[in-house]
Amino acid sequence: MEVISRTFMNVLQQIKYYNVSEIFLILVLATLPLGGHALNSNAVILFFLASLINYIVNKPTFKFNRISILLISFYAVCLFSLFWTENLENTKIGLVRFLSYLALPIAFLLNSNKPFNQEKIIGIFSKLLVFYSVYCLFIAAIKCIQNDDISYLFYHKLSNNLGDLNAIYLSVFVSLGINFFLRKKEKSKVEISYLVFLGLFLILLSSKLIISITFIVTLLYFFKRKKYKKVKWKDIFFISGIIILFLFASSNLSKRIKVEFEKTKINEVIDTKDFGHVYLWTGAALRLFQTKAFIEILKEQKKIFFGFGLNNSQKSLNDKYKEYNLYPGFMNYNYHNQYLQVFAELGVVGFSILLMLLFSVLKDAIILKNYFLLSFIILILVVCITESFLWRQRGMVFFIIISLLFSNRKKFSL
C-alpha cells in the first residue's frame, strides 16, 4: 500500500512539471476521425480527469474568457430547456450527448496555469490526418481492385474506411491540416509533400463546398502575404499548382454541381403539396424543403422564443415529411442546417448565444490577425449552412477545442 501511495505521489509531482493534459487533448483530436463516438468520448473524459488532477495539484486561478463563458452559457440553455421541452427523455439524452459543451471549457479553465502549445497540438493532429488519409486510400485501392469499381476512391466510400465517418466531417478536418501546413513560415520538403497530399485527398473526398472554401481562403491568404513582396518564380509555380489542383477537382465537382443546378427546381419544391415517394431529390432541393418546413413549423407551433427543447425537433420535421408525402427513407433526417437546428430546438435564446459564440471566434481571428483561426471559423460558418455540424460529437468537439485553443491568446506563431 505504501509503495502504491509513493508511486501516486511521484506521478502528481511529475504533473507539476509536464502538461499531461496536453497529451490527452491531442488524444481527443486524434480520435475524432476514428470509429464511432465512444472512443472520442472516452478521450474527452480522460482529458477532463487529467485537467482536474492538474487543478488539484497546482490550484491555478481560473482565467475566464468570452469563448468559455459562451460555451458554458450555451450548455446552460440546453439544460434549462428541460423546463419547456415537449419530450423530457429526448432532452435528457441530448444533455448527455452535449456534455462536451460544458466539460471541455471547464477542462481548459482547470489548465489556466499551463497554456497549451498550439503549434504542437495542431501539428500532431495534421500529421495524423496524413496518416489517416494514406490508410483510407490504401483500403480504397484494395476495394477498387476487388470490386472493379473506382467509386471507392471518392466521397463517403473513401471516408468510411475510417469507420462510419461522413466525408463532410473528414473534409473539414483535412482542410484544417492544409491550413496548418500552408501557414508555416518555414516548410520542409516533407511538410510541402504533406500539404500537396492533403490537397489531393480533399479533392477525392469531393465535398464541393469545403473544397471551394479551402481554395478561396488559401488564395486570399497567399495574396495577402505576397502583397508587399516581390513575386518570385516559386510563388508563381505554387499558385499555378493550387489552380491546377482545383481544376483537376473540377471534373468531378462540376458534374455534381451541374446535377444540383439542373435537377433542383426551386419553385416546384416551394409549391408542391404532395411529392410522392419517387420524387427526384437533390441535396439542395431537400435542404430547401427543410427550410420551408422549418418556417411552417414556427408559424404553426409558435415556438420562436424557446423552441421545442434540446434534441426534440425531429418529430415536428418528420410530421412535415409525412404531410408532404416524402420518401420514407428521409424520416429522421435532421435539418442539415445548424442555424435552423438550434433555432428549432432552443429558439431565439439558444440561436442568439450560438451566433455570439461564432462571431466571438471570428472577432478574435480578425483582431489578432490570426489567419489560421480566420480560415477555421469561415469554414465552420459556411459548413453550418449545409450540416448540423455542431450537433454531432465530431463537429462539436472539433469546434470547441480549436475555438478554446486560440481564444484570447497570442497570435499563432506559424
Residue recorded with cell 502538461: 19
Q: What is the pLDDT of residues 89-118, one digit of tens each?
A: 999 999 999 999 999 999 999 998 778 989
Q: What is the pLDDT of residues 319-368, one digit of tens each?
A: 999 999 998 888 989 999 999 999 999 999 999 999 999 999 999 999 98
413: pLDDT confidence band, cut at 50, 70 and 90?
very low
Confidence check: pLDDT of 411 > 60 = no
Residue recorded with cell 463517403: 156
CA-CA distance, 360 to 365, in Å (whole number)?
A: 9
149: left (phi over 0), alpha (psi -120 to 50) or beta: beta
Confidence check: pLDDT of 226 > 90 = no
Confidence check: pLDDT of 27 > 90 = yes
Q: What is the pLDDT of residues 55-81, one digit of tens each?
A: 888 887 877 889 999 999 999 999 999
Residue recorded with cell 435532421: 334
Residue recorded with cell 440546453: 78
Averaged pLDDT, 162-187: 90
Looking at every residue in the chain, the average pLDDT score rounds to: 85
Averaged pLDDT, 245-272: 67
Q: Cell numbers for 396, please give them.
A: 462539436
The larger pLDDT score, comparing residue 64 to residue 160, is at 160
Q: Cell numbers for 289, please give them.
A: 424543403
Question: For position 7, what pLDDT does the model report?
Answer: 42
